[in-house]
Structure 1
Amino acid sequence: MSDLPFGFSSGDGPDRDKHGEDPESGSGASNPFGMGGNFGVGDLGQIFTQLGQMFSNAGTTTAGGSASGPVNYELARQVASSSIGFVAPVPATTTSAIGDAVHLADTWLDGVTALPAGTTRAVGWTPSDWVDNTLETWKRLCDPMAQQISTVWASSLPEEAKGMAGPLLAMMSQMGGMAFGSQLGQALGRLSREVLTSTDIGLPLGPKGVAALMPDAVESFATGLEQPRSEILTFLAAREAAHHRLFSHVPWLSSQLLGAVEAYASGMKIDMSGIEELARDFNPATLSDPAAIENLLGQGVFEPQATPAQTQALERLETFLALIEGWVQVVVNEALGDRIPGAAALSETLRRRRASGGPAEQTFATLVGLELRPRKLREAADLWQRLTDAAGVDARDAVWQHPDLLPGADDLDEPASFIDRIIGGDTSGIDEAIARLEQEDPGSDGSA
């Protein structure tokens, strides 16, 4: 991972050896907290007093008075809004042009995929609209990791320390919710001015069936490109419409994507040496300054340890993203190829944008600890194209009936065997997968 999630450090600091000893004092942790030096248990009273004064005015509850959870999302919304500033509403003529582009793209897509249209309306969003319409999904993406961060301290402490640390840890969790909310708000404010569509990062961030394009970001993206603005708008509308076909008519897809994020968070393990170092050098006076607290938490407290469960979840997520983006690329190029000569070049521009780790991927890596980078996008697109050529559109799109039918990471490296299984009639495992799908609760569509 190129970046680490909020509250994480990248490893040992320059002034600390592998045993967690201070090179000047030559000693390590001196009590269950790892607190040494001049810090004593009696100083906890001072900490509690200062924290109480700070939280008496800060507040971390919702308007209804209930706890806001591991992240203060109302603060995130306010920070994002402040970062964005005033933005004029999208003109009606622009909204109309977006609607026409999505309708035209959907008409062309009808001829190249068995999945029906998934959009119910098309809109133009300002950056503020994007934040308002995607925040609910960001909650589900960020909560698992934030929850792990807020609870892992207590679970990692020795039993004899938990009782004494309880009040402090509860308050620190609230501070973490505020700091995470502030960081999330800043990131979303920046990201809202850079994403091109509601599905730009490969996840269903917005409301189901709403195709949304960001006119200001599209204009910035088009600057310097040789294609006419109308062709670029239609190309992006086709990508948005293609994504919505998958997210609307593959009912398990959204929950599988978001479930992979949750699985990654639940597999997180923490090396407590980070909090021991923090506690040893901790100055209670910093608790009277909210800015100092945010800086303290933001500089990293934990050192994450990759686990097999996390590695598996990350590979699963990357494979899903590659398959989605590869499928979208194939059907959009097929739909627009003869109609918009520059479609292939635009696809390559977006592929390089994702492969190099664009702003969306970087923001997500920082906030959640995962890179939303479809590393094998080119391989996935090649697999879908070869499967289309060998078996046809209907057989290709039937693979989306159940997650067990999809190609795996190994199939992206060696697509020939997967294609042979499809065109050769090898249905091992397919009947069982479809049977499980039919047995699922008919009242649940499996969407997020």
Structure 2
Amino acid sequence: MNARPATLPSSAEAPRALDWNVAVGTAVRLMKPGPEVPRAEAGRAVRSLRRFSVDAETHVRETTGLGLDLPIAEGDVVDRPDWVRGAAFGLAELTGAALSAADSVPPRGGELLGEISARSAGVQAGVVLAYLGGKVLGQFDPYGESRVEGQRGRLLLVAPNIVAAQQSLGVPADDFLMWVCLHESTHRVQFNAVPWLREHFAASLGQLLSQMEGGSAELLTRLPNVVREARTARRAESSPGMLGVLELLQSPEQRAALDRIIAISTLLEGHADHVMDAVGPQVVPSVGTIRQRFTDRRNGGGLLDRILRSLLGVDAKIRQYAQGAAFTDHVVGRIGMADFNAVWAHPDNLPTRAEITAPDTWIRRVHG
């Protein structure tokens, strides 16, 4: 199930706020092995995922009208350690691009202290990657290295996790593999058919990072109010979660920058969920059953798993899928896919975070 390993930035490169090589090493050591799968079954899964990644993208293009003339390639079918390496490479590239866009250099505080800080951050990132490495089914990394001329980014399909999820859900194997490929292939189409999206996302993250510089003292001055608000929310059984606490700590400028990132991410994830279900009935006969059981799986888990999901922001990600899909469903239902695609015409056409939950306001703004 292995693909070619991603080459991580050299440890000699400076300055860095996080040592990604340490992150990878930590994650691989902590990560649980994948499920035991007979060799013949594993081979069938790998071959099917490669084939379905091409078929799925063809269906996505026909449904969305995006990227019809672009080259197409198989996805990379990987195991858990290779996903960690690929994710770390993509995150290193994204954060590097974001820092460049922000014209920002992470503070080091001296070579020795900077190296210790970077390694410590790498260990923390490794713990997160180890947890996610056992959960992630697939990922399109727009900052990864493509093997195909005319394509940007790298599509990763984590075979052990996909097989484990399919077996736990009790759904047909081919249907589930195709369904996963539809979601991830939609992301590949988004970033390859919309030339400005990759750079715009990095620039938006850069704006957030630039707003966060030098804000530690300011954050501390707001901490007592945050604690009081969080306690009030808990008593009302409406805890804001980690994302809510982060927003309470932010200045108005920081919150505006975070809102832009959340709005973009929510649109991308929701659009992918809409497309995978819109295509589904044609090529995935059991799509209704898969969607219901998968949604239950997203919301389930033991106590420890739910705590970790909250701390790592996974629950916030799940809400993004639902909100973004509802936005896309509503707009496409009202004005059709062709007019929905105005969202990709220019960065100014992207919905705001407020418009995600009030899609008619986006329709009025963009289409009059």
Assess same fold via TM > 0.5: yes
- For structure 2, the 5+ residue unaligned runs are 1-8, 146-151, 221-247
Q: CA deviation at 1:315?
A: 1.3
Q: Secondary structure at the match of 1:115?
A: coil
Task: Give, as a single letter, the amino acid of the residue that structure 1 aligns with 2:85.
Answer: D
Q: CA deviation at 1:410?
A: 2.8
Task: Give, as a single letter, the amino acid of the residue that structure 2 aligns with 1:346.
Answer: I
Mapped to 1, the partners of 2:306 and 2:90 lie a distance apart of 15
Mapped to 2, the partners of 1:307 and 1:324 lie a distance apart of 26
Q: Secondary structure at the match of 2:62?
A: coil
Equivalent residue in structure 2 for 1:83, among 19, 30, 51:
30
User: What's 1:94 paired with?
Assistant: 45
Mapped to 1, the partners of 2:128 and 2:17 lie a distance apart of 17
Deviations 1:257-305 (CA, angstroms, capped at 9, x unpaired):
333333322222102998xxxxxxxxxxxxxxxxxxxxxxxxxxxxx94
2:16–2:106 Cα contact (<8 Å) kept: no
Mapped to 1, the partners of 2:13 and 2:178 lie a distance apart of 45
1:116–1:249 Cα contact (<8 Å) kept: yes
Mapped to 2, the partners of 1:100 and 1:258 lie a distance apart of 31
Q: CA deviation at 1:128?
A: 1.8
Deviations 1:103-145 (CA, angstroms, capped at 9, x unpaired):
3323333431111266422231011211222222222455679
Q: 1:344 to 1:256 in 2, by over 3 A?
A: farther
Mapped to 1, the partners of 2:171 and 2:47 lie a distance apart of 21
Output aligned runs, 1:431-446, within 5 Å: none
User: What's 1:190 paired with?
Assistant: 131
Deviations 1:332-373 (CA, angstroms, capped at 9, x unpaired):
21111244343244345555666789989968965xx99862
Equivalent residue in structure 2 for 1:171, among 88, 93, 112:
112
Q: 1:348 to 1:245 in 2, by over 3 A?
A: farther
Q: 1:259 to 1:349 in 2, by over 3 A?
A: farther
Larger proportion of helix: 2
Q: 1:264 to 1:226 in 2, by over 3 A?
A: same
Q: Does 1:411 align with 2:321?
A: no
Equivalent residue in structure 2 for 1:103, among 54, 69, 72:
54
Q: Secondary structure at the match of 2:169?
A: coil
User: What's 2:335 paired with?
Assistant: 391
User: What's 1:271 paired with?
Assistant: 217
2:57–2:189 Cα contact (<8 Å) kept: no
Q: 1:326 to 1:409 in 2, by over 3 A?
A: same
Q: 1:349 to 1:319 in 2, by over 3 A?
A: farther
- For structure 1, the 5+ residue unaligned runs are 1-60, 153-165, 275-303, 427-448
Q: Does 1:313 align with 2:257?
A: yes
- Pair member with larger Rg: 1
Deviations 1:388-420 (CA, angstroms, capped at 9, x unpaired):
233332222232111211222232333224334
Q: CA deviation at 1:228?
A: 0.9
Mapped to 1, the partners of 2:218 and 2:327 lie a distance apart of 44
Output aligned runs, 1:114-153, within 5 Å: 114-116=65-67, 119-140=72-93, 151=107
Q: 1:86 to 1:362 in 2, by over 3 A?
A: closer
Task: Give, as a single letter, the amino acid of the residue that structure 2 aligns with 1:176.
Answer: S
Backbone CA RMSD of aligned residues: 4.0
1:193–1:217 Cα contact (<8 Å) kept: yes
Q: Secondary structure at the match of 1:71?
A: coil
Mapped to 1, the partners of 2:329 and 2:354 lie a distance apart of 17
User: What's 1:402 paired with?
Assistant: 346
Normalised to the residue count of structure 1, the TM-score between the two structures is: 0.59
User: What's 2:233 paired with?
Assistant: none
Query: Higher relative CO (CA 8 A, sep ≥ 6), structure 1 or 2?
Result: 1
Mapped to 1, the partners of 2:132 and 2:168 lie a distance apart of 21
Output aligned runs, 1:175-254, within 5 Å: 175-199=116-140, 204=142, 206-207=144-145, 208-254=152-198
After TM superposition, the structure 1 stretch with the greater mean CA deviation from structure 2, 212-221 or 403-412, is: 403-412
Q: Does 1:73 align with 2:17?
A: no
Normalised to the residue count of structure 2, the TM-score between the two structures is: 0.70
Task: Give, as a single letter, the amino acid of the residue that structure 1 aligns with 2:357.
Answer: D
1:361–1:373 Cα contact (<8 Å) kept: no
Output aligned runs, 1:286-325, within 5 Å: 305-325=249-269
Mapped to 2, the partners of 1:194 and 1:414 lie a distance apart of 31
Q: Secondary structure at the match of 2:63?
A: coil
Deviations 1:63-114 (CA, angstroms, capped at 9, x unpaired):
6x55462222222232233334888999554322112222332333343111
Q: Secondary structure at the match of 1:224?
A: helix
Q: Secondary structure at the match of 1:120?
A: coil
Q: 1:236 to 1:361 in 2, by over 3 A?
A: farther
User: In percent, how many aligned pairs have the same letter?
Assistant: 20
Q: 1:314 to 1:344 in 2, by over 3 A?
A: farther
Output aligned runs, 1:7-22, within 5 Å: none
Aligned residues: 313
Q: CA deviation at 1:177?
A: 0.9
Mapped to 2, the partners of 1:359 and 1:324 lie a distance apart of 25
Mapped to 2, the partners of 1:338 and 1:413 lie a distance apart of 29
Deviations 1:17-48 (CA, angstroms, capped at 9, x unpaired):
xxxxxxxxxxxxxxxxxxxxxxxxxxxxxxxx
User: What's 1:283 paired with?
Assistant: none
